[in-house]
Amino acid sequence: MRVRLRYTVTGKIRFLGHRDVARVWERALRRAGLPVAYSEGFSPRPKLHFGLALSVGHESLAEYVDVDFAGPVDVAVLPLALSAHLPVGIEAVGAIAVQRSEGSLQSVVDACTWQLRCTGVSADALAQQAAELMSASALEATVTRKGKAVTWDLRPIIVSLDVSPDTGGALLDVELATSPRGIRIPELVAAFAPLEFEARVTRIHQWTTVEGSRTEPVPMPPQISHALERAS
């Protein structure tokens, strides 16, 4: 059976790279004694399928991984059972069984919401620049992909930009589409030039569309959602 797990990445552990996060998950599943399915062949690997990679240094309340199990597992107890074996800062918060026909995480997620806790900039200046970006018909930017500089129009990717005041600067809530192509947060920040600011970045949501309505691949359980709000 395939299980879709939602997890959070907060604190120091945000400096861990995507590949290392995958290895942490493999070990946690083994330590929890869960019957993970392995690939066939010369070098069998546990069958884990991750969604969009999280950049090193970013936090997240909405990361996902699909795990294939060779036998039945109790989905309801999975998050607690796994969190006990995950490092501090990575916490499994929800799990649902999914059909393999539902498509991979990378293919079903169409947008992400990010929160940037910005310092070194005022909310007013940021809001003004955000409004200009949103009213532009095109935003040409040069980004680097696979070692090559390419020029893209960022405007179709930016779904929304919302600015609110925050102690020490401003909060910037951003929704970015994953198609036609993904952009990275520093590339978005660069689009605010000449404004320059530092930001602590958190992915708040990943979105998917099911039968025309927008939803999350695994909803955040309300009690955890409240706890995170109190903590922040």
Partner 1 sequence: MSSIWSSLEPLLERVQRPARYIGMEDGAVVPEQGGDAVSWLLVYPDSYEIGLPNQGLQILTEILNERPDATAERAYAPWVDLEAELRAAGLPLFSVGSHRPAGEFDVLAFNLSAELTFTNVLNCIDLAGVPVRAAERGLAHPLVGAGGHCTTNPEPLAEFLDFVVLGDGEEAVGDITEVIACWKAAQADRRELLVELATIDGVYIPALYEPLYSADGDLIETVPVAVEAPDVVEKRTVADLAEWPYPRRQLVPITEVVHDRLNVEVFRGCTRGCRFCQAGMITRPVRERPAEQVRTMIADGLARTGYDEVALTSLSTADFSGIGPVVEGIMDDPASAGQVSVSLPSLRVDAFTVGLAGSIGQGRRTGLTFAPEAGTWRMRQIINKLIREEDLYEAVEAAYSSGWRRMKLYFLTGLPSETDEDTLGIATLARNCVELGRAHHKNPSVTVSVGGFVPKANTPFQWFGQNTVTELQRKVYMLRDELRRDRGVQLKWHDPKTTLIEGVLSRGDRRLGAVVEAVWRAGGTFQEWSEYFQLDRWERAIADAGLTPEYFANRHRDTDEALPWDHLSAGLHKDFLAQDWADALAEVGLPDCRWTPCYDCGACTGYGIEHVVASAVPPAGGSQGTGQQVTSDLGAVPVRLGPTSGGAPDGSAELHDVAPPAVAPALVGVAATAPEQDPRT
Residues that bind partner 1 (CB under 8 A): 12-13, 15-17, 19-20, 23-24, 26-31, 38, 42-44, 56-57, 85, 87-89, 198
Q: Is the peptide bond before 194 cis (omega within 30 degrees of 0)?
A: yes
Tell the smallest beta-carbon distance from residue 102 to partner 1 (Å): 27
- Closer to partner 1 by CB, 119 or 122: give it: 119
Closest of 225, 212, 26, 206 to residue 104, by C-alpha = 206
Q: Which is nearer to partner 1, 87 or 219 (CB)?
A: 87
Residue number with CB closer to partner 1 (3 or 29): 29
Nearer to partner 1, 52 or 86 (CB): 86
Whether the CB-CB separation of 10 and 89 falls below 8 Å is answered with yes
CA distance 122 to 183: 24
Q: What is the largest CA-CA distance in the chain?
A: 59
Q: How far is the CB of 87 from partner 1 (least distance, A)?
A: 6
Phi-psi region of 24 (alpha: psi -120 to 50; beta: other; left: phi over 0): alpha
CA–CA separation, 102 and 20 (whole Å): 27
C-beta of 28 vs 172, nearer to partner 1: 28
Least Å distance between CB 153 and partner 1?
28
Q: How far is the CB of 114 from partner 1 (least distance, A)?
A: 16
Q: How far is the CB of 100 from partner 1 (least distance, A)?
A: 22
Shortest approach of partner 1 to residue 119 CB, angstroms?
10
**Residues whose CB falls within 8 Å of the CB of residue 50, separated by 6 or more in sequence, listed in order:** 18, 21, 22, 64, 65, 66, 105
Q: Please identify, using beta-carbon distances, which residue of 23 and 214 lies nearer to partner 1.
A: 23
CA distance 206 to 90: 17
